[in-house]
Amino acid sequence: MPGDAALHCHVSHPIQRSLHDPDFAGLQRILEAEGVNPSHARALWGALHREGALDLASRSFLPPLQRWVERSVGEGKAFFLDAPEVIEEIRSDDELTRKFLLRLRDGQTIETVLMGYAGRHTVCVSTQAGCAMGCVFCATGQMGFVRHLRPGEIVAQVLHARRVLQTVAPGRRLRNLVLMGMGEPLHNYESVMQALSSISNPGGISIGPARIAISTVGVIPGILRLAEERQPYKLAVSLHGSTDEERSALVPVGERWPLPDLIEACRQYGKITEKRIFFEWTLIDGKNDSPETAARLAKLLTNINAHINLIPLNPTGGYTGEESDAGTGRQFQHILQASGFPCTFRQRRGIDVAAGCGMLKAERGTKRQV
Ligand code: SAH
Ligand code: SF4
């Protein structure tokens, strides 16, 4: 109807919605509510998630969908696509790892990293602008919390990384995703789960759930919810301390979710899901790297199907602690291995500059903008 179309063209919508926010079922519901047969969702989904279209204006769809797209998607219309703007890119010496500072629609900036090593490509995404958890050694924690990301803003980071990968290594698939960028994923549970449903959808980006890792500072209710909902993703828990005292000095929310309770929640998670849990441990000189701490950690994790990832500390502006020396780190690793735990060092993956999450943003002084 021409009159109808004209109305839609000239009235700017007070509430615009992202077409990258909904998962597949949500997109079907949107089309249905808009009077378009939901069977068209597949074509729209394919354009958005499989092809990674940055705009829909140049696409051709079957007439009912085409008419709806023309009427409803774009500047000043009811729906928009999430397409964050790259404001900075840093490349590792070998070019395979790239870190992006992306600007969202409201001007907030977040970081996304595309990592390439040993023929595997992994994207590390942010789930919040800033973080409320305040870990003392973390550049994002030092910024404080700004806001949660919407599902579409999480999905769009993966789409961006995949687009870049296609130019760096044409034909290579982006197979792995880690939620280890800025923010605490389980503090933004609903949006993260919705985004992961979209990202793992076989008709779209199609990163398998077993290749998606959620990293948490130890939000107990979130860990239990993952188990109860049988979410199919990998779980990584950032521990960094073997006693409440040791841990809370680095991870202040350790006071809210004490270590014995956290370990009990992990046990529950393991029992319900029968899955291995990854434990992350940032080694800091004199703080959490002694042989006694390693032995206590091994005891703490008794009977948990655990893999321990040791992370060398990346220096940040707001923290004076230092990286453990190599010998101390190896000793720590050997104690855990001798206790029967797989324990590996996380590679730095060729990022030579501004490596840790939040560091690029911190360096650029583009902190809180609200
Ligand atoms: N909020 C989640 C996920 C993002 S942080 C979490 O804390 O798990 C991802 C990992 O990077 C965490 O294990 C975190 O402790 C670690 N990390 C953060 N800043 C770091 C730094 N400066 N050096 C080394 N590891 C760091
Ligand atoms: Fe937040 Fe994770 Fe950084 Fe802690 S380490 S402040 S939880 S992003």
Question: Is residue 357 annotated as part of the catalytic site, yes or no?
Answer: yes
Catalytic residue among 124, 135, 343, 357: 357
pLDDT grade, residue 14 (50/70/90)?
confident
CA-to-CA separations, 172 to 92, 122, 166, 206, in angstroms, rounded: 19, 11, 7, 14
CA-to-CA separations, 71 to 40, 41, 128, 220, 346, in angstroms, rounded: 16, 16, 32, 45, 49
Q: Ligand 2 centroid to 76 CA: how many Å?
A: 36
Q: Ligand 2 centroid to 336 CA: how many Å?
A: 24
> In this structure, what token pair is assigned to residue 347?
């590679």
CA angle (165, 354, 158) in 5-degree steps? 30
pLDDT at 96: 82
pLDDT at 116: 87
Which ligand 2 atom is nearest residue 215's CA? 2
pLDDT grade, residue 357 (50/70/90)?
low
CATH topology of domain 85-353: TIM Barrel (3.20.20)
Cα–Cα distance for residue pair 45/23, rounded to 1 Å: 9
Name the residue ranges covered by the structural domains of the chain. Answer: 2-80, 85-353
pLDDT grade, residue 368 (50/70/90)?
very low
Entry pTM: 0.93
**Residue whose pair of structure tokens reads 């994002």 in the numeric block:** 140
pLDDT digits (tens, 9 = 90+) for 313-337: 998 989 999 999 999 999 999 999 9
Q: What is the mean pLDDT of residues 40-59?
A: 96
